[in-house]
Amino acid sequence: MPTRFVEAVLSFAFPVVCEICGQPVSGYPQTGVCDSCALKIKRIPAPHCTACGRTLKIETGRCAECWGKVFYFDRAFACAPYEGGMKELLHTYKYNGRKYLKNFFIKIMREFITNHLAGLAWDAVVAVPLDPVQKRKR
């Protein structure tokens, strides 16, 4: 709990600016993304390929690229394409230590789960493990 208090005081004393446009971002917990920029980040619309998460034209389970391939998981989804603002945010989070961006990622994952996975049985949300060599470099 003390860390939340410290974060709140620090965000008041040193306001966080949007990592995309540079405008001040208000609110707590700090997401690091203003509402305007958050709305501009594309979301991957349903229906989704259960292997790669791409949008399908019709509900077939898998896209043409994934059809017939063997995967060692049942389903995988992505909330947004790795491009534009999302690519910039992920890069900033990973390489520039802006850990408060996790709150933005949690927000869009929660939105995605609520909108697209509410009726599905699922066990966990997991990150792709980082290569040990890359982890040491960071």
pTM score: 0.76
- State pLDDT tens for residues 77-105: 888 989 999 999 999 998 898 888 999 99
Q: ∠ at Cα 36 (109, 40), nearest 5°?
A: 60
Q: What is the mean pLDDT of residues 30-44?
A: 90
- CA gyration radius for the chain? 17
Which residues on neighbouring strands pair with residue 17, listed in sequence order? Answer: 24
- State pLDDT tens for residues 49-71: 888 888 888 888 898 899 889 98
